A and B are shown apart, each in its own frame.
Chain A
Amino acid sequence: MSTSYAPPVQRLVTELSKLPGIGNRTAQRLAFHILRTSPEDAVALAEAIREVKEKIGLCEVCFNLTDEARCRICQDPRRDQELICVVEEPSDVIPMERTHEYHGVYHVLGGALSPIDGVDPEDLKIAELLTRAASSQISVREVVLATNPTTTGEATALHIAEGLRQRAPQIKLTRLASGLPVGSDLEYADEVTLGKAFAGRRTV
């Protein structure tokens, strides 16, 4: 690799290449693009990154992204608090919302079980989900396991189902119908497919 860039340029390239899907060559292209843009645009980008890290945190109830203590969905009195949909990532909430089929609340795990990637149950918000579901404040009626239909998503759903059966056996457990192609991410599912998957969810 060339070492002839000035240190600030090299630092920018290094930081950019840490982003997912960005190799060293793309990182260099982005860095030179930033160098060419106006100071206002470059500062706006830096500010946006700073602001998102300062203001956005995880909802204290469902661990979705929020700029308050509780996310808008958890605060919404029209949402059915007794129905919890469990998803892997905050990005999985958006397509679910777009279906307009779902009126419950969410629980965002922050990933899926994957020993290969070093992800164990303790690394996900699983204990928090069990506590939440077993809590006496709200009597949860149903938990929809909407993790991805992948190896890791299936294992995560199974793991949570086992935990819930022990901690809160009265809760109905459902899994999204397999309208989704096997191996696909919830994130890439279109609204119609996802709506059908929700309507046809099956008890596990």
Chain B
Amino acid sequence: MRVVSVEMRDFRTYARAEARIGAGLTVVHGPNGAGKSNLLEGIYFGCTGRSPRTRSDRELIRFGAPATRVAVRLLDGEEPHELTVGYEAATGGAQAVKRMSADGAEVERLLDVPSRPLISVFMPDRLELLKGPPALRRAHLDQVVAAIWPARAQARREYSRVLAQRNALLARIRAGRASHAAMATWDRELASKALTLREQRAGAVNLLAEPFALKAGQLGCNGEVSIEYRPRSKALDEDQFVAELQERLDGDLERGFSGHGPHRDELAIVRDGRELRVYGSQGEQRLALLALLLAERSVLARERGRTPLMLLDDVMSELDGERRELLVGELSAAGQSVIATTDLGHVPTAGEAHVTRLRISPGTILQEAIAA
């Protein structure tokens, strides 16, 4: 599965633009503010229906235009596929509309489409994943689980559904509108879903731990950098988890929601025993994020035989010459990647025939070199 091209209409700075993406490495270069990040964002938006930078899709529409549309063309072996995302902002009385399609048929979520490429993105905004609240890392980890083992993707949803029911029951008991009669039942349901989710997360982190430490070292992270899954619950089985819940029932009733379970787990990224989130410099955090994404990429390639398309924005300025070569070497070894840079000289192999080059000037994309 590979992305062949992306076509954007009224997307950010682009009125109308198309870019061919190479089968291996694609380098996007141009001055700051020309729209390199917007192109990467467009590719991501076309493949997932979401922006990696903003929750407000309205920002994606070019100033003055009523709507935006992104189409991504793919090749699965010889077989072509097309994904489209259209977004029309709310006007007057009409609500905003987002329409997504796969091969011409409307779909509710692109994430469920089998022909969708896996995609991984490094952007300055993504640093939130390391610096932000634990919920972001949990959600990311659960996406990694779903990418490695698609059949296990529903564990998070099932847990969330039971959690919502238990919270509703707590609120009803607190308000005097329900008895405790069904509490034990929901505790047990929560325990069963919680243990499944915890096991899957632990399994994914287990696969990631070694490649992550390795990549972090190679990229020049200082000290001993590691990734640790820190589940809230220490329960060894359902009964113990239920007991943990019951111990906390009074507190839960007081708050009106459940304070214990995988929805409070942490995925910690640690250097020499201290969390990078708190004690790391911005530079260290950026390297750790890159190491994490590269570790995920190698795990997915190994476990699923699918290498995610990697979108890297402004990553080269961080690295010295040796590490740039290492990164480009790794990316070129398998799969597709798109690197955005202000300075073409920062990408060691940029001039070679196997590299696709796109030059960006405000609003336009010039296809300089296309590699087969």
Chain A: residues with CB nearer than 8 A to chain B?
113-116, 118, 120-122, 151-152, 154-155, 158-159, 162, 182
Contact = CB atoms under 8 A, between A and B. Distances in A.
20 contacts: A113-B182, A114-B165, A115-B165, A115-B169, A115-B182, A120-B178, A120-B181, A120-B182, A121-B181, A122-B179, A122-B181, A151-B158, A151-B165, A155-B165, A155-B182, A155-B185, A158-B185, A158-B189, A159-B185, A162-B184
A115 B185 contact: no
A182 B158 CA distance: 10
Given A115-B172, A118-B172, A182-B154, A151 B162 contact: yes
The 10 A-B residue pairs with the shortest CB-CB distance in the complex, in nearest-first order: A115-B169, A115-B168, A159-B185, A151-B161, A116-B168, A121-B181, A155-B189, A120-B178, A115-B165, A121-B182
A182 B161 CA distance: 13
Contacts, number: 49
B58 interface: no
Nearest to A117: B168
Nearest to A160: B185
Contacts of B165: 113-116, 151-152, 155
Nearest to B183: A115
A151 B168 CA distance: 14
B179 to A, nearest CB: 7
Nearest to B184: A162
Interface size band for B: 20 to 34
Contacts of A155: 162, 165, 182, 185-186, 189
Contacts of B181: 120-122
Given A114-B165, A151-B158, A152-B165, 13 more contacts: A113-B182, A115-B172, A115-B182, A116-B164, A118-B178, A120-B178, A120-B182, A121-B181, A151-B162, A151-B165, A159-B182, A159-B185, A182-B154
Contacts of A118: 172, 177-178
Contacts of A120: 172, 178-179, 181-182
Contacts of B169: 115
B166 interface: yes
Contacts of B182: 113, 115, 120-121, 155, 159
A115 B154 contact: no
Interface centre among B162, B185, B186, by most chain A C-beta atoms within 10 angstroms, is: B185
A155 B169 CA distance: 13
B178 A115 contact: yes
